[in-house]
Amino acid sequence: MIRRSPWWAAAALAGLMALSSGPLLAYQSEVESLKSEWESATTELRGSERRDALSRLADQAEALAGRHANQAEVLVWQGIILASYARERSGLGALGSARSARDALERAVELDPQGGNGSAYVTLGALYDRAPGRPLGFGNSNTAEQMFQRALEIRPDGIDVNFYYAAFLHEEGRLDEAREHAQRAVEGEARADREASDEALRVEARTLLSRLT
């Protein structure tokens, strides 16, 4: 005979599930908001407007990470936003934002080895590629390549992965490899939740490819 749980047990379980999922849904909603605003800031704004928008988003991401310090998704987006903000700044301010981005992303991949479907590794690769080397900064071409390679293992056809790796290879003078990855970026499929930024990178990939052919 199959023993059925009493109705009140099922109701209690449903209530516990609702309570436990509440905070999760709350932080995910905030991440989605950050993601949407970042997408708009990086593809629609220019100059001081973009910098100011990213500054506000960086503050919001820091506050969210303070409340959810062990959620990899939160840390991935904190890192992405800070890396974007670093590109809009100059001098020691830019380096400080880049360091904070690196720290958030490295913590994220400790929590989630997939790094938000590779996004953390792409951004880490770009940070290690662009930051000045020691003793001032933390730039390191070997580490940058390791990060890009890890991202490619996770998402080999990604527009962002292939574009940033192609740009890195171009700087390194590895032109045949750069051409291959620029072509893959041009042919890649834009992600539904990152369509505007992926399409913007596709345009940059076409420009890079034209310089390589």
Query: Model pTM greater than 0.85?
Result: yes
The confidence score (pLDDT) of residue 25 equals 65
Band of residue 26 on the pLDDT scale cut at 50, 70, 90: confident
For 147-164, the pLDDT digits (tens) are: 999 999 999 999 999 999
Is 1 a residue whose pLDDT tops 90? Answer: no
Q: Where are the domains of the chain?
A: 24-154, 156-213
Q: Which CATH architecture has domain 24-154?
A: Alpha Horseshoe (1.25)
Q: Do 58 and 85 contact (CB within 8 A), yes or no?
A: yes
Dump pLDDT digits (tens) for 77-134.
999 999 999 999 988 899 999 999 999 999 999 999 999 999 999 999 999 999 999 9
Residue with tokens 């590895």: 174
